[in-house]
Amino acid sequence: MFAIKNIALVIFIITYIGIIFTRLPKINIDRPSAAFFGAVAMIVFGVLNFDEAVHAIDYNTIALLLGMMIIISTLQLDGFFSLIAQKTIAYSGNQFRLLVLIVFITGIASAFMVNDAVVLLFTPVIITICINSKLNPVPYLIAEILASNTGSVMSMTGNPQNMLVGINSGISYGSFILKLLPVSILGLLSIIWVMRLLYPSVFKGKKNITFSQENINYKYSSMRISVPIFILVTFLFFFSNMIGLSIPIIALAGASLILIFGKIKPSEVIRKVDWVLLLFFASLFIVVEGLQKTGMLNDLISKNNFSANMNGVLAIHGISLFFSQIVSNVPLTIVMLPFMKSAGSEILWLALASSSTLAGNLTIIGAMANLIVIESAEKHKIHIRFWEFFKVGVIVTIISFAISIGMMILLIIY
């Protein structure tokens, strides 16, 4: 047992080193491949048998992710995201109003349509508007990144780590939104204030904001089916307990309807699903289960039992802020699941969802949405520098963390 314990620990450490350092000499590695290696190693070296590995995977989370990916992929192919951006952002009258629209449209859309997908589709539209209107796109893209993370806090379907928290905590969809909505809205307002404070010359005066619809293909006939299904799925999320269906099942049901009745070929939709992300999640569940089976996590849990008080809330926020910059928020959240289940506190679950997401705003590598925007901007020869992002991100993160901690303390009191 002693040997197995050490083997599990070594595999866990190697896996997370691969997740942290995605470029190691003479090794072809990235985060999904590191997690997959760790999962397979746990089985090969006898830490877990195959059946235990299969049972370690949280299929509720995988199902929710898969269902939402199919729905969002269909909406992407329909041009729905581009239509939203075009119909709203294009009508802004000046630079400051454009900033406000970008922040709130990105933030609210990210809450219900997964922030990674939102920025993937919104970024080219924002760049096009800025280039056509002769505006510096960097401040607007930074605002988009910050808003996508901040807005996604409010909903269980806003980002992968919130899905993990929502499924494992048992918090209802409506309660999740009700309690984290103030954090998101106040956070979005703070982004607007900080951007105007740090870029005063960018948002002064009035310029003619223009938008070109070239190269954007809207499939209205398909949207007439996909959009109502998406709205129905979101509506049913709020009443999942009343109708006796879990949130993952509702997402899968919506995905099946959109594949059958939608106008986009199912094969096209399925190709756009991020299967690598699903493999990453499944692999991480196995790696963490392998470590947990040895009893090491139980020892740590017994020594670090978080309480639903101010100290517990501060501890969760501190851990999230630090480790999200090192291993990213999804791997951190999966490791934290056993600790949260042991604590059994709804407030601490909400604190983890809020803090792990908001921590992504601190640095340019803090969240996947950040990297998606940066890579998309690079294709247009637009460079978002680390320090330029950091000077905005650190202020926004401090303010949003203060709002999040304050909200958690209010929940404890009342």
User: pLDDT by residue (tens digit) across 305-357?
Assistant: 677 788 889 999 999 998 888 777 888 898 899 889 888 899 999 999 999 99
Cα 81 from Cα 173, distance rounded (Å): 23
Mean pLDDT, rounded, for 133-144: 91
Helix 160-169 vs helix 59-78: angle between axes, to the nearest 10 degrees? 140
Q: Which domain holds residue 353?
A: 2-413
**In the prediction, which pLDDT does 246 show?**
92
Number of H helices, E strands in the chain: 21, 0
User: Is residue 28 very low, low, confident or very high in pLDDT (cuts 50, 70, 90)?
Assistant: low
Interatomic CA distance for residues 163 and 156, integer angstroms: 5
Residue 249: per-residue pLDDT: 95
pLDDT reported for residue 25: 55
Percent of residues, the chain, with pLDDT higher than 70: 93
| 24, β-bridge pairs | 27
List the single range of 17-31, 153-167, 279-293, 370-384 with lowest mean pLDDT: 17-31
Radius of gyration of the chain from its Cα atoms, rounded to whole angstroms: 21
The mean pLDDT of 180-204, rounded to a whole number, is 93
Is the Cβ–Cβ distance between 124 and 367 less than 8 Å? no
What is the rounded average pLDDT of the residues 257-268? 91
Token pair recorded at residue 17: 């080193």
Q: Residue 28, exposed/middle/buried by CB under 10 A (0-12, 13-18, 19+)? A: exposed
Q: State how many domains the chain has.
A: 1
Percent of the chain whose pLDDT exceeds 90:
48
Please check the confidence at residue 89 and state whether its pLDDT lies above 70.
no
pLDDT at 252 over 90: yes
Q: Which two tokens stand for residue 363?
A: 């640095």
